[in-house]
Structure 1
Amino acid sequence: MSYTIALNFEDGVTRFIACNAGETVLDAAYRHKINLPMDCSDGVCGTCKCHCEQGQFDMGEEYLEDALTEDEAAAGKVLTCQMVPSSDCVVAVPAASTLCKTAPEPFAGTVTAVNAPSATTLELFIQAEKPVAFLPGQYVSIQVPGSQGMRAYSFSSRPGSVELSFLIRNVPGGLMSGYLSERARVGDQLTLTGPMGSFYLRPVQRPVLMLAGGTGLAPFLAMLKLLAEQGCEQPVHLIYGVTRDIDLVCVDALEAMAAQYGWFSYATCVADADSDHPRKGYVTQYMEGAALNDGAVDVYLCGPPPMVDAVTGWFRQQGIQPASFHYEKFAASAAPLQEKIA
């Protein structure tokens, strides 16, 4: 028996390793040639201290309180030299991947389809050679065929699948947009590198509010697919905002999910004042009291920089401090910028 451990480094790189029954995370990492920080490896120095964000494990009693205090242990801190998992885990490592002598791993994929759900959005489907592990919300960099250019896109597919999908803004003259619109063919070989990113779904322990702007819907589709598979006991509400009516995509999928799962609800809004959409304006206008749960809510936000700035400013103006607030900014031709507040 073995467990899958996601090592999420502070530079956003994630490596997935197999940890055998009875094996410590530190030993498993070294077996995978990942040099996690360590000094004594005996639970004495605290050099290997990390944070377990998800999963079950045993720390035993063979470590000193100087290395890990009771308060730190209660907050989810672990010593990887003592941590023996009893389930799959997500471990945040307070060091860059390069310092641990590891890096994002490239893998190959084959184009199976390119759709245009709207004039402003493209949907890319890729068949990987084997199931791709990632945390729902993370992204990969895809090399554009015929160039040295790389573009970063969040998965919209379910983690652990060989069938990968991505929502991509159709940018006139864009490097990836030009390839997908003009030259892409079924069977094309692509090189993807990842997964990466600190924007991903944490364990759902309280109501969740998801705020998506444009193709920032993609990571939420991955999150929702995982929740639908695993089950969810907390309400999850998504507000999906776009600039124009034509930018709304995947609404049928959201409607089907809302009809099937009582824990999920959603609303769409369009910023264009000339729109006929029943909800005009911005997502901040539709962040109603029930969805905010008096601040006892985990907020996830993915959209262009002006949207992220507007939402973070709205929370400050309202004096609302969510239990946790995770966001990702993205812009055309740029890697996502990710941060966690609270």
Structure 2
Amino acid sequence: MTFYTIALNFEDGVTRFVDCKQGEKVLDAAFRNKINLPMDCSDGVCGTCKCRAESGAYDLGSDFIEDALTEDEAAEGLVLTCQMVPSSDCVLAVPTTSLACKTGHQKFAATVAAVTPHHDAAIVLELEVDAAAAPAFLPGQYVNIDVPGSGQNRSYSFSSAPGDRRLGFLIKTIPDGVMSGWLAGAKPGDRLDLTGPLGSFYLRDVKRPLLFLAGGTGLAPFLSMLEVLARTGSEQVVHLIYGVTRDLDLVLVDEIAAYAARLPNFTFTTVVAEEASSHPRKGWVTQHMPAELLHGGDVDVYLCGPPPMVDAVRRHFDENGVKPASFHYEKFTSNAPAKEAA
């Protein structure tokens, strides 16, 4: 039997994945997985189950009335889950919280496989999970990792691709940081508890050129996205601008460069802010963003970095009258257990 994977993204940042049988309606698949999506009539009359399809192919049939879903709404990607029958994997934005749908965060365990420091700038953490426990996630999403013995957790984006048994994370080294301190003594086989996936920052359907803007360890989600693009054979134009504070903060550049061989239309630029740097491109990301990268607005922009960077890019777009076709961003702070995304 054919199954399609349906990602349900809730307003509180929780993502749950359900398997939908061929010919099965999404609402029925969710209920079968004990997730109570909003509904009332389940007959295509009330519109209570309306969600937004952000990717995937599906059929809505004709057994619903226009008061429940207009032609304009359907053209914009809105769907009735009581009528929607997928014909591929799909991503749905659900306009309510996971708690309201009687579901919530997923928890799983993993063991440390490797801890690799990169100067004093960052650490690459690799975790192993059993195949049966490997979490489904969308490229760009993150998890909360409990720091053993601290009673605290920290949020990190996956740098690995969905489906991999070995999970990768790029973690900023922080003097006296809770996670940095624990990683200094971590060894292979140590157990960690994780919660997720989480977040509304993830790669949507690729329909136009992409501009990726990464600040520091905000590079992590883009490594996941690039791996997915490479595996799917994407031929879309993609440019990454990777901005850091110091020369030593430029990590994993060889990994980025390797994608140029796998993605024919991928290019990247590195930028260092520190004035004393010997890097050929100094300054801020916004100073190295030529107009041609914006394709006259026909571009999807993804931005992950610290709050000042995110605010500067948003201000740059506003001051220059730039209106990308879509603009997805995620702010992070180095020691915060939560993120803000849009």
* TM-score, with structure 1 as normaliser: 0.98
Distance 1:300 1:96 in 2: 24
- The answer to whether the 8 Å contact 1:62/1:82 transfers is yes
Distance 2:259 2:20 in 1: 34
Deviation of the 1:253 alpha carbon: 0.8
- The answer to whether the 8 Å contact 1:44/1:66 transfers is yes
**Map of 2:282 onto structure 1:** 280
Distance 2:235 2:188 in 1: 40
In 2 relative to 1, CA 116–86 (structure 1 residues): closer, same or farther, beyond 3 Å?
same
**Map of 1:292 onto structure 2:** 294
Distance 1:260 1:202 in 2: 20
**Map of 1:243 onto structure 2:** 245
**Map of 2:153 onto structure 1:** 150
For 1:51, give the aligned amino acid: R
For 1:100, give the aligned amino acid: C
Residues 175-324 of structure 1: matches in 2 within 5 Å?
A: 175-181=178-184, 183-324=185-326
- The answer to whether the 8 Å contact 1:271/1:282 transfers is yes
Distance 2:78 2:318 in 1: 29
SS at match of 2:259: helix
- The answer to whether the 8 Å contact 1:108/1:129 transfers is no
Count of residues in correspondence between the two structures? 338
- The answer to whether the 8 Å contact 2:234/2:263 transfers is no
For 2:316, give the aligned amino acid: W
Deviation of the 1:327 alpha carbon: 0.3
SS at match of 1:322: coil
For 2:38, give the aligned amino acid: P
**Map of 1:82 onto structure 2:** 83
- The answer to whether the 8 Å contact 2:161/2:224 transfers is yes
Deviation of the 1:237 alpha carbon: 0.1
Deviation of the 1:21 alpha carbon: 1.2
SS at match of 1:135: coil
Distance 2:339 2:96 in 1: 20
For 2:130, give the aligned amino acid: E
Distance 1:289 1:310 in 2: 17
**Map of 2:169 onto structure 1:** 166
Deviation of the 1:152 alpha carbon: 0.5
Deviation of the 1:313 alpha carbon: 0.4
Q: Give per-residue Cα distances to partners, 1:190-239, cap 9 Å, x unaligned.
A: 11110000000111111100000000000000000000000112100000
Distance 2:76 2:227 in 1: 29
- The answer to whether the 8 Å contact 1:132/1:161 transfers is no
Distance 1:180 1:311 in 2: 32
**Map of 1:134 onto structure 2:** 137
- The answer to whether the 8 Å contact 2:143/2:155 transfers is yes
Distance 1:176 1:36 in 2: 36
For 1:41, give the aligned amino acid: S
Q: Give per-residue Cα distances to partners, 1:160-211, cap 9 Å, x unaligned.
A: 1111000001111111110001x21110111111000000011111110000
Distance 1:3 1:148 in 2: 38
**Map of 1:28 onto structure 2:** 29
- The answer to whether the 8 Å contact 2:230/2:262 transfers is no
Q: Give per-residue Cα distances to partners, 1:26-52, cap 9 Å, x unaligned.
A: 011011110100000010100000011
Greater mean alpha carbon deviation, residues 215-224 or residues 326-335:
326-335
* TM-score, with structure 2 as normaliser: 0.98
- The answer to whether the 8 Å contact 1:126/1:164 transfers is yes
**Map of 2:111 onto structure 1:** 110
Distance 1:36 1:149 in 2: 31
- The answer to whether the 8 Å contact 1:49/1:79 transfers is yes
Distance 2:67 2:294 in 1: 39
- The answer to whether the 8 Å contact 1:44/1:63 transfers is yes
Distance 1:260 1:112 in 2: 26
Deviation of the 1:132 alpha carbon: 2.3
Report runs of 4+ in structure 1 exceeding 4 Å deviation.
none
Structure 1: gaps spanning 5 or more residues:
none
For 1:166, give the aligned amino acid: F
SS at match of 2:7: strand
Greater mean alpha carbon deviation, residues 208-217 or residues 19-28:
19-28
**Map of 2:44 onto structure 1:** 43
- The answer to whether the 8 Å contact 1:59/1:78 transfers is yes
Distance 1:86 1:253 in 2: 34
**Please, what is the CA RMSD of the aligned residues?**
0.8
For 2:208, give the aligned amino acid: R
